Structure 1
Amino acid sequence: MKHKRLFAAMILSAFVAAPAMAEDNQNWRPWGGGNGPGRQAMMDRIGAIDSNDDGIISADEAADQVESVYAAMDADDDGELTMEEFMAVRMGPQLGQNEARQKMMQDRKKARFGEMDVDKSGKVSKAEFIAAGKARFEAADTDKDGQVTPWEFRAQRRGWQ
Structure 2
Amino acid sequence: MKKTLITALAATIALASASTFAYAAKDGDKRGGGRHGPNIERMLEKLDANNDGDISLAEIKTHQENIFASVDADDDNSLTQEEFEMISEMRKAEREANKQQRTETAQSNDNDGKRGGKGKRGGKRGPSFDRLDADNSGGITLTEFTGHADKMFKRMDRNSDGVINSDDMKRKNG
TM-score (norm 2): 0.57
- Corresponding position of 2:71: 73
1:93-112 matches, cutoff 5 A: 93-94=95-96, 104-105=123-124, 108-109=125-126, 111-112=127-128
Deviation at 1:48, TM superposition (A): 3.0
Max Rg structure: 2
Residues of 2 paired with 1:147 and 1:127: CA distance? 22
- Corresponding position of 2:44: 46
**8 Å Cα contact 1:19/1:56 also seen in 2:** no
Deviation at 1:77, TM superposition (A): 1.0
Judging by fraction of residues, say which structure has more helix.
2
- Please give the root-mean-square deviation of Cα atoms over the aligned residues, in Å: 3.7
AA partner of residue 65 (structure 1): H
Is 1:20 the counterpart of 2:18? The answer is no
- Corresponding position of 2:116: none
- Corresponding position of 1:124: 140
AA partner of residue 125 (structure 1): T
**8 Å Cα contact 2:22/2:45 also seen in 1:** no
Task: Flag the 1:54–1:31 CA change in 2: closer, same or farther, 3 A.
Answer: farther
Task: Flag the 1:134–1:54 CA change in 2: closer, same or farther, 3 A.
Answer: same
**8 Å Cα contact 2:80/2:138 also seen in 1:** yes
Task: Flag the 1:29–1:137 CA change in 2: closer, same or farther, 3 A.
Answer: same
Q: Relative to structure 2, which stretch is displaced further, 134-143 or 54-63?
A: 134-143
Deviation at 1:87, TM superposition (A): 1.2
Is 1:82 the counterpart of 2:80? The answer is yes
Deviation at 1:45, TM superposition (A): 5.3
- Corresponding position of 1:31: 31
AA partner of residue 144 (structure 1): S
- Corresponding position of 1:12: none
AA partner of residue 139 (structure 2): K
AA partner of residue 95 (structure 2): P
- The Cα offsets for residues 52-71 of structure 1, whole Å up to 9 and x where unpaired, read as 22221012211211111111
Deviation at 1:78, TM superposition (A): 0.8
- Corresponding position of 1:140: 156
AA partner of residue 51 (structure 1): A
Q: 3-state DSSP class of the match of 1:53?
A: coil
- Corresponding position of 2:58: 60
**8 Å Cα contact 2:22/2:44 also seen in 1:** no
Task: Flag the 1:71–1:47 CA change in 2: closer, same or farther, 3 A.
Answer: same
